[in-house]
Amino acid sequence: MRLILVIALSLMALPSWANQLKSVRIWPSPDNTRVVLDMSSAPNFNYFTLTGPDRLVIDLKGASNAANLARIENNSELVRKIRQSTPLEKGGLRLVMDLSSAIKPVVFPLAPAGPYGHRLVIDLPYEEKRSAAAVQSTPVGGKGKGVVIAIDPGHGGEDPGSIGPRRTYEKRVTLAVSQKLAALIDREPGMRAVMTRRGDYFVDLNKRSEIARKAKADLLVSIHADSFHNSTPRGASVWVLSTNRANREMGSWLEKQEKQGELLGGVGKVLAESDPNPYLAQTFLDLSMDKSRAEGYDVSRQILRSMGKVARLHKKAPEHASLAVLKAPDIPSVLVETGFISNHAEEKLLATASYQDQLARAIFEGIRNYYRAHPTKGAMLTGKGQVSQPAATTRPAPVARQPVSQPRQAQSQPVVTNKMPATARDSGTASGSGAGVIKPYSAAAQESGAPVSSVGDYDKSRMLRHVVKRGESLSRLAEKHGVSQSTLVEINQLRSRDIQIGQTIYIPQQGQSRAAAPVRSDDKSQMIRHVVKRGESLSRLAEKHGLSQARLVEINKLKSRNIQVGQVLYIPQN
């Protein structure tokens, strides 16, 4: 009994607080300043603001201070000082932040995660004028802007990412590689880099794709380092958005009518200002997402090919995952895992500046190789580092087509362009991925002075009028109806072999042809239709079929001698 009494008296003599402020960290960024209070246990808190001068007061109940407030590293223009004041009640801790301007703070606790324990996070957003200026300071694309690559260094600030056995922080590796990659891109004529963060601060995952969108980026590349619970796995990999995540994100965007203008340009504005039509919106978003995912996958293959020359690959093909930073429906996005920071050997490499240079160079070359083969809307990269401006530098979103029977003035007809060469898209399906240069037939006929019902000696009134459905392509239609693709291109006045859902295509019936139309030497209906396989090159195909590479380039209208796995090539028979 006497022992119990002694224990009870001892407990009564202990301080009433059970929590402790261990340290304070301040992370300034272009949009806000984040202050993190590291606590020994979950905080019980209240807060309020004061003016004259501007201050934020935080009361921590049952807490004491073990942090040196005079030694806090502070580079924020908003937070002038953090000091201790008289608490509201005994056994508590009151902190006062002296601020340079009035703010509306966002305060919330965080549970232990990674290297951190319990935290109280205080987000201090800058005033709207400053935030707007910060966004505008990011260069945006415009006419002749070339290829814009958004680079996203993963993690940052109080989010360290993975931490290696030697205490190498992922956030530092990703920033170093990203800065080197940005420098290479900015030195390449016709290319420009935009970074989602330039320092050690955290950027919200949704904000990262918004930064890329406002910069009118052609590609978003997120840089990371992988990790595993043991040190065995190693190797670099590249990830793209999974189909399931893509479908979920599309559904989310459909619910936000005000976002459609950002995603779809002029078409989005039409959707937003018209009566709600979920089916029409679904179609356009579907086209945008399909196109972005296809481009992202093609870029990732080029990056893997280049990285394989300097690094071990964990997987030799792009992998699919549900990753938040890849979710933008309108921007081709890839995530590059530079290696396993949890592997002792790769951690040492990833922390080395020379290896970071090699990784950045490999990623850059993969991106550059893709855009050399697939010129984009601002510039066309050449093998000599030169830049040529294509005649058509705009790529508006797909538009609804006018029926052939309702002609308009030629100049009022929409022209939709695509950066990919026609032959690189022969096997592309009608996913509506921003199809190549297409002139509606009525406009083409008026330009040539021909009647709307025919082109040259072709009589469209006797042809099959076909409306393109999902999954169809020009090559499949040509094969199905026993005509050449070049015939369909000529009849329908197409400037590309891409076709869109809902587009009208006129198809001649068997035996219907122009009078005395000679068989041209480049009639692809008389050629071998070859789908490029892994390991093949244009030089090997030319040698195998007894042709020159120049002949294959001419027939297939290639913009370079680089060919892709799955690309369709037409080869004359000897």
Q: What is the value of pTM for the model shown?
A: 0.55
DSSP 398-414: P-PPPPTTS---GGGS-
Residues 244 and 81: their CA atoms lie apart, in Å, by 47
Angle CA 310–424–186, to nearest 5: 45
| Nearest alpha-carbon partner for 27 in 209, 180, 204, 292 | 204
Judged by DSSP in three states, 259 sits in helix
Q: For residue 400, is pLDDT > 50? A: no
3-state SS of 331-399 is CCEEEEEEEECCCHHHHHHHCCHHHHHHHHHHHHHHHHHHHHHCCCCCCEECCCCCEECCCCCCCCCCC
Query: Which comes out higher in pLDDT, residue 155 or 511?
Result: 155
- The model's pLDDT over 286-345, given as tens digits with 9 standing for 90+, comes to 555 566 778 888 999 999 999 999 999 998 888 876 666 666 667 888 999 999 999 999
Q: Which residues contact 351 (CB under 8 A, 6 or more apart)?
A: 164, 166, 168, 173
Half-sphere exposure of 537 (CA within 13 A, CB side): 5
* Amino acid in position 221: V
By the 8 A CB rule, do 406 and 442 touch? yes
Residue 23: pLDDT band (50, 70, 90) is very high
- The model's pLDDT over 78-129, given as tens digits with 9 standing for 90+, comes to 999 999 999 888 889 999 999 999 999 999 998 887 778 899 999 998 875 4
Residue 379: pLDDT band (50, 70, 90) is low
By the 8 A CB rule, do 118 and 112 touch? yes
Q: Which residues contact 267 (CB under 8 A, 6 or more apart)?
A: 284, 396, 397, 398, 399
Domains in the chain, CATH or no CATH each: 17-132 (2.60.40.3500), 146-244+290-381 (3.40.630.40), 398-521 (no CATH), 527-574 (3.10.350.10)
Angle CA 122–78–52, to nearest 5: 95
Across all residues in the chain, what is the average pLDDT?
74
